[in-house]
């Protein structure tokens, strides 16, 4: 049996899902996504859980799609999985909090943006590098664009430059940024405050807040998954990714 890639733990009315896939920098492989969805469903069904936390081991929170799998199955399917994952986080009846440290890229940023509350280390790094590879952050734009101002989105999407957690908080991508040494304390305070809410109050308030995002996902999700697949399959993107991988060597 393959090693578990998403650990599930509960304490004090909080279910914690922890990515632990160091071999591919917590990429969204079939196994990791499947275990994440199972964990979300398990938390949903547990009457003793009021809050769900997503966090990660290692120095990369999530590197995005597992490209080795995506090449074999097709990018439209991979993008569709990312759309479904954002939908599941947004539609969960319990608030989802992400604890972000280290590096966050591509689909990992989509998870952060789809969450209700995102707490980031100040020195965590974010980047929409798709533009440099002939791509566009299409699928993750479903949840990212509603969080950020239009000016911030234009700057970060078009330049592909790396920015830190402090900037991510300033532009609305995350809720709050704190020194990494204080991240667990900040997470505990937020989860304690959330757990004081009644299940009905949390459920109905999250639904109220999340309705526009879910409507956007339902309206545009399929089209943006197809756009991701088309760009990924283009000669320009293939050449750019080959050049990028050659430079890494």
pLDDT of 71 reads 60
Task: Indicate whether 152 belongs to any domain.
Answer: yes
The two structure tokens encoding residue 55: 């966090």
Cα 129–Cα 159–Cα 179 angle in degrees, nearest 5 = 70
pLDDT interval class at 70 (50, 70, 90): low
Task: Indicate whether 223 belongs to any domain.
Answer: no
Task: Indicate whether 248 belongs to any domain.
Answer: no
Phi-psi group of 216: left, alpha or beta (phi > 0 → left; psi -120 to 50 → alpha; rest → beta)? alpha
Task: Indicate whether 239 belongs to any domain.
Answer: no
pLDDT at residue 224 tops 80? yes
Write down the H helix ranges in 74-182. 75-91, 107-114, 141-147, 150-159, 165-170
Task: Indicate whether 234 belongs to any domain.
Answer: no
**Other beta carbons less than 10 A from residue 235's beta carbon:** 8
Task: Indicate whether 240 belongs to any domain.
Answer: no
pLDDT above 70 covers what percent of the chain?
Answer: 94
Note down the domain range covering 139.
Answer: 6-182
pLDDT interval class at 233 (50, 70, 90): confident
Task: Indicate whether 156 belongs to any domain.
Answer: yes
pLDDT at residue 69 tops 80? no
Mean pLDDT of 203-230: 95
CATH code: domain of residue 95:
3.90.226.10
Split into its structural domains, the chain has a count of 1
Strand locations in the chain (E): 6-11, 14-19, 51-56, 60-62, 96-100, 103-105, 117-121, 125-127, 163-164, 176-178
b/e burial code for range 132-154 (CB count within 10 A of at least 16 → b) = ebbbbbbbbbbbbbebbeeebbe
How far is Cα 86 from Cα 232, in angstroms, rounded to an integer?
20
Average pLDDT, whole number, for the chain?
93
pLDDT of 1 reads 47
pLDDT digits (tens, 9 = 90+) for 235-245: 898 888 777 66
**Range name among 65-74, 88-97, 194-203 with the lowest pLDDT average:** 65-74
Task: Indicate whether 114 belongs to any domain.
Answer: yes
The two structure tokens encoding residue 130: 């798709």
> Regarding beta strands 6-11 and 96-100, do their DSSP bridges make them parallel or antiparallel, or are they unpaired?
unpaired
Mean pLDDT of 120-149: 95
The two structure tokens encoding residue 110: 């989509």
């Amino acid at each position: 049996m393959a090693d578990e890639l998403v650990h599930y733990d509960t304490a004090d009315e909080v279910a914690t899902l922890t990515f632990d896939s160091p071999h591919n920098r917590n990429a969204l492989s079939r196994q990791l996504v499947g275990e994440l969805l199972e964990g979300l469903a398990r938390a949903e069904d547990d009457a003793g859980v009021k809050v769900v936390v997503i966090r990660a081991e290692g120095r990369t929170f999530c590197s995005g799609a597992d490209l080795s799998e995506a090449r074999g199955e097709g990018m439209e399917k991979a993008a569709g999985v990312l759309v479904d994952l954002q939908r599941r986080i947004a539609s969960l009846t319990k608030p989802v909090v992400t604890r972000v440290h280290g590096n966050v890229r591509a689909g990992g940023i989509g998870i952060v943006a789809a969450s209700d509350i995102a707490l980031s280390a100040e020195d965590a790094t974010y980047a929409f590098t798709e533009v440099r590879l002939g791509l566009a952050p299409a699928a993750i734009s479903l949840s990212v664009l509603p969080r950020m101002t239009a000016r911030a989105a234009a700057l970060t999407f078009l330049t592909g430059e790396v920015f830190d957690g402090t900037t991510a908080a300033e532009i609305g991508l995350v809720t709050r940024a704190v020194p990494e040494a204080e991240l667990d304390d900040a997470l505990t305070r937020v989860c304690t405050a959330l757990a004081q809410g009644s299940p009905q109050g949390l459920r109905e308030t999250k639904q109220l807040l999340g309705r526009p995002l879910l409507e956007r996902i339902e309206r545009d999700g399929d089209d943006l998954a197809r756009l991701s697949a088309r760009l990924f399959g283009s000669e320009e993107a293939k050449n750019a990714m080959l050049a990028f991988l050659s430079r890494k060597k």
